[in-house]
């Protein structure tokens, strides 16, 4: 099979067989197919797209390029949750323990965050000593022992994706629905969960700005997972303003703990319990649902499960009882409202940018991250505010970063004399 013929085929809108996709992907991983040919093929995919079955095949070929976890030994369906990434998105820290507390085992392999704030793994490192680099054996053992495990992605998980993503990044071929869907789902399939629930974000702080693109991506990923025999569901959710009240790693951990202790922001708590209910229902064929999740929240079972997770991975759990034991920034500055009115806009992207200026994010994987930096919001869109009232607190260790971050945060805010309608957090639900 000549790779140039496959490039020509895709350029003309042809549909690849699994063997053809294997020739490209496997050949690339082995070093037998050069970058320039794969780059040309990726660009052809960007323009021509992929058919549903073809995309499912591509994803399976990518998933099979490295180690694939076999979680069958757990004896029950194992669940995973994935978000395409948002500002203040600490949902996994609440959903995973709630689901585990309902008796559904949960296993998540997560990448580190790039851009505005850290990812789930960075956030968990707010618990000093927490190990997030478990090997496959330790990962499965902990899952079997306590029913919950969250760790960084093993190096051998879908290596084809790592190599293809680096090439996409350098060749302008990241924004392609089939390439994004196969990239995310190859890692999810290789990580072995039978139940996968996806949260696809849309809005200014999301990778997919337009709801239509987010819905198409969610549909494509649900179809890929379903074709691979997994139980799938997805939501498309709003990311025009940050999720919950905090943005920044240890600040988000504190909010997750407060939420599991019953003191979370109402909309955010509702969102997290909704996702947890979807997962437990899928995993149990409907035998479990909202009432079990609510019980896990109100009884403290979810919080207890989170503590067990941190303990099992060697983390310092003192932050559960005393939030001052989590990383704390040296300086705080309060941003106040400049007028009376209704908060009409709290642009997620700008809040993220401010948080990143304070030190909460990273540009490159190797960059350091300041776990304690970020922004805590005192008001959300739709709420009434009066002049001089605190809108947000900026947290930093480097006081020289505050002025620029404050200016950026100020530009995220708009106050209107008119009452404003607030969009629901969940815009669409997609089932397998």
Considering the rule CB under 6 A, would residue 43 count as an interface residue with ligand URA?
no
> Quick one: how far is CA 119 from the chain centroid?
7
Q: How many C-beta neighbours within 10 Å does residue 393 have?
A: 17
Q: Binders of ligand URA among 142-171, rule CB under 6 A?
A: 165
Compute the distance between CA of residue 354 and CA of residue 374 in angstroms, rounded to an integer: 8
Considering the rule CB under 6 A, would residue 184 count as an interface residue with ligand URA?
yes
Q: CB of 187: closest distance to ligand URA in angstroms?
A: 7
- Give the residues across from 234 on adjacent strands: 198, 430
**What does R_g of the chain's alpha carbons equal in angstroms?**
22
Q: CB of 180: closest distance to ligand URA in angstroms?
A: 4
Considering the rule CB under 6 A, would residue 241 count as an interface residue with ligand URA?
no
Note if 82 is an active site residue: yes
Note if 199 is an active site residue: no
Compute the distance between CA of residue 23 and CA of residue 6 in angstroms, rounded to an integer: 9
Note if 274 is an active site residue: no
Note if 290 is an active site residue: no
Considering the rule CB under 6 A, would residue 117 count as an interface residue with ligand URA?
no
How far is CA 145 from each of CA 71, 139, 291, 309, 320, rounded to the nearest angstrom? 13, 10, 25, 11, 22
Note if 89 is an active site residue: no
Nearer to ligand URA, 122 or 255 (CB): 122
Q: CB of 107: closest distance to ligand URA in angstroms?
A: 18
Considering the rule CB under 6 A, would residue 38 count as an interface residue with ligand URA?
no
Nearer to ligand URA, 39 or 385 (CB): 39
Q: CB of 183: closest distance to ligand URA in angstroms?
A: 3
Compute the distance between CA of residue 100 and CA of residue 120 in angstroms, rounded to an integer: 17
Considering the rule CB under 6 A, would residue 217 count as an interface residue with ligand URA?
no
Q: Return the range that interacts with ligand URA (CB under 6 A); candidates 18-26, 112-120, 180-188, 238-246.
A: 180-188
Compute the distance between CA of residue 332 and CA of residue 311 in angstroms, rounded to an integer: 30
Q: Binders of ligand URA among 293-332, rule CB under 6 A?
A: none
Within 8 A by CB and 6+ apart from 180, the residues are 174, 207, 217
Which residue lies nearest ligand URA, judged by its C-beta? 183
- Tell me if 190 sits within 8 A of 97, measured CB to CB: no
- Interface residue list for ligand URA (CB under 6 A): 165, 174, 179-180, 183-184
């Amino acid at each position: 099979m000549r790779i140039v013929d496959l490039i020509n085929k895709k350029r003309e809108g042809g549909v690849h067989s699994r063997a053809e996709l294997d020739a490209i992907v496997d050949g690339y991983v082995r070093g037998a197919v050069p970058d320039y040919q794969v780059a040309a093929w990726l660009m052809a995919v960007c323009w021509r797209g992929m058919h549903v079955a073809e995309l499912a095949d591509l994803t399976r070929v990518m998933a099979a390029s490295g180690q694939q976890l076999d979680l069958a030994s757990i004896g029950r369906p194992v669940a995973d949750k994935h978000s395409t990434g948002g500002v203040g998105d600490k949902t996994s820290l609440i959903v995973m323990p709630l689901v585990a507390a309902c008796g559904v085992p949960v296993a998540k392999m997560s990448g580190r965050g790039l851009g505005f704030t850290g990812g789930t793994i960075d956030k968990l490192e707010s618990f000093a000593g927490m190990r997030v680099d478990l090997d496959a054996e330790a990962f499965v053992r902990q899952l079997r022992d306590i029913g919950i495990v969250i760790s960084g992605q093993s190096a051998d998980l879908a290596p084809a994706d790592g190599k293809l993503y680096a090439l996409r990044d350098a060749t302008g071929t990241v924004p392609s629905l089939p390439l994004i869907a196969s990239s995310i789902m190859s890692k999810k399939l290789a990580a072995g969960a039978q139940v996968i629930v996806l949260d696809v974000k849309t809005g200014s702080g999301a990778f997919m700005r337009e709801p239509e693109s987010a819905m198409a991506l969610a549909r494509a990923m649900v179809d890929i997972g379903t074709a691979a025999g997994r139980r799938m569901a997805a939501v498309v959710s709003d990311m025009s303003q940050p999720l919950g009240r905090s943005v920044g790693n240890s600040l988000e951990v504190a909010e997750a703990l407060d939420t599991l202790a019953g003191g979370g922001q109402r909309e955010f708590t509702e969102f997290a319990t909704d996702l947890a209910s979807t997962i437990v229902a899928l995993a149990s064929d409907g035998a479990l649902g909202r009432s079990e999740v609510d019980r896990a929240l109100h009884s403290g079972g979810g919080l207890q499960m989170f503590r067990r997770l941190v303990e099992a991975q060697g983390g310092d759990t003192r932050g559960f009882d005393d939030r001052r034991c989590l990383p704390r920034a040296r300086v705080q500055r309060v941003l106040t409202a400049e007028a009376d009115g209704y908060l009409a806009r709290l642009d997620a992207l700008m809040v993220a940018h401010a948080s990143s200026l304070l030190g909460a994010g990273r540009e490159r994987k190797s960059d350091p991250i300041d776990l304690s930096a970020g922004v805590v919001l005192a008001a959300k869109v739709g709420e009434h505010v009066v002049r001089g009232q605190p809108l947000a607190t900026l947290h930093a260790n480097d006081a020289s970063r505050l002025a620029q971050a404050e200016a950026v945060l100020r530009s995220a805010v708009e106050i209107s004399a008119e009452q404003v309608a607030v969009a629901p957090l969940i815009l669409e639900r997609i089932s397998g």
